């Protein structure tokens, strides 16, 4: 059962629906929000991008949460009255209110945007309520490698030396790593022809798609909180994957969780995260480490300690 400001949504004739590809009525409630403020600087005269990843430079905005359900009534007019009562109660809010999803947790939200009502039958209308959670709790503990998956230079693949398995991720794909970025914007004057000016390529952005499968909802949330901790950490991250380059990157747009389901007493969902690449080393696996010597990436990110 879902509650808004302590009132069951059932009081308005609302029953929870299911978001696309999900068993639950909410979407966006588990996303990591995007950063706010200036996150990087792109230099016009070369290929470089300067990330802003100091602790004081990393700040995050809020996230959108959408509820999908159905308003049921005896007649179309009955549904209308229930919807208008909901609108009246929402208009009386003077601060953030609690959206309570039962075992899923709770969120401090405001209703932002248009509440959409779409007819299904005369006595049943689909309702979509857009919420905004302006302050998101991104606390969590950094994941550590499972005992049998200790990271090594040529061992398990993952992020910052933490294997994908230990992060709770099954990697489905990493897209755009073979692409050459588009040219940076060119400024020039022309009159009788199209005109052109050669510029340097921009920076590469990769899309990592992964699958999360955990035995309990608490374990699922632990995976998310571990990812929150990892991607809010100051500095650059680095990622390794079989047959790919070692890539320094940072995350500025957060990540999205879709398709949350509970089947066979386990929870699973899909994760999409954009990685903004700073540098790539295609020969990283050839590096060797002498005793007590640290190996670093091109941006001085430590990747291995003997």
**Residue of 168, 172, 167 lying closest to 213 (CA atoms):** 168
* Bridge partners for 116 per DSSP: 128
- Mean pLDDT, the chain, integer: 88
Residue 152 lies in a domain: yes
Domain that residue 84 falls in? 3-27+63-133
Is 258 buried (19+), middle (13-18) or exposed (0-12) by CB count in 10 A? middle
pLDDT-derived band at 152 (thresholds 50, 70, 90) equals: very low
Residue 253 lies in a domain: yes
- Both 85 and 144 in one domain: the answer is no
pLDDT at 14 over 80: yes
Domain-ending residue, one of 133, 148, 173? 133
- 269-286 pLDDT, tens digit each: 999 999 999 988 877 765
**Residue of 257, 298, 282, 255 lying closest to 66 (CA atoms):** 257
- Both 129 and 166 in one domain: the answer is no
What span, in angstroms and rounded, lies between the C-alpha atoms of 232 and 115? 32
* Number of independent structural domains in the chain: 2
- 171-223 pLDDT, tens digit each: 999 986 777 666 666 676 766 777 666 667 667 889 999 999 999 999 999 99
Is 222 buried (19+), middle (13-18) or exposed (0-12) by CB count in 10 A? middle
- Both 105 and 201 in one domain: the answer is no
pTM above 0.75, yes or no: yes
Residue 146: strand, helix, or coil: coil
**Number of CB atoms found within 10 A of residue 21's CB:** 12
Mean pLDDT, range 79-103, rounded to an integer? 97
- 31-55 pLDDT, tens digit each: 999 999 999 888 767 667 899 999 9
* Bridge partners for 40 per DSSP: 51
What span, in angstroms and rounded, lies between the C-alpha atoms of 261 and 155? 32
Domain-ending residue, one of 133, 168, 195? 133
């Amino acid at each position: 059962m879902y509650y808004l400001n302590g009132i069951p949504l059932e009081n308005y004739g609302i029953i929870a629906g299911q978001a696309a590809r999900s068993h639950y009525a909410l979407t966006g409630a588990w996303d990591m929000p995007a950063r706010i403020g200036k996150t990087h600087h792109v230099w016009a005269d070369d290929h470089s991008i300067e990330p802003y990843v100091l602790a004081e430079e990393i700040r995050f905005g809020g996230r959108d949460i959408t509820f999908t359900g159905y308003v049921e009534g005896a007649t179309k007019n009955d549904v209308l009255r229930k919807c208008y009562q909901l609108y009246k109660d929402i208009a009386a809010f003077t601060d953030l209110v609690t959206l309570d999803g039962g075992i899923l947790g709770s969120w401090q939200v405001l209703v932002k945007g248009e509440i959409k009502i779409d007819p299904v039958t005369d006595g049943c209308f689909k309702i979509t309520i857009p919420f905004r959670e302006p302050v998101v709790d991104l606390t969590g503990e950094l994941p550590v490698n499972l005992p049998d998956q200790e990271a090594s230079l040529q061992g398990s693949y993952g992020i910052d030396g933490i294997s994908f398995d230990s992060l709770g991720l099954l990697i489905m794909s990493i897209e755009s790593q073979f692409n050459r970025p588009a040219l940076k914007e060119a400024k020039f004057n022309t009159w009788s022809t199209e005109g052109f000016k050669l510029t340097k390529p921009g920076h590469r952005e990769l899309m990592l798609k992964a699958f999360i499968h955990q035995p309990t909802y608490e374990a699922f949330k632990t995976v998310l909180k571990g990812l929150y901790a990892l991607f809010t950490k100051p500095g650059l991250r680095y990622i390794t994957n079989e047959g790919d380059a070692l890539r320094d990157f940072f995350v500025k747009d957060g990540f999205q969780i879709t398709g949350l389901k509970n089947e066979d007493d386990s929870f699973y969902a899909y994760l999409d995260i954009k990685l903004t690449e700073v540098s790539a080393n295609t020969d990283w696996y050839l590096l060797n480490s002498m005793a007590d010597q640290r190996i670093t990436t091109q941006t001085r990110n430590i990747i291995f300690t003997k």
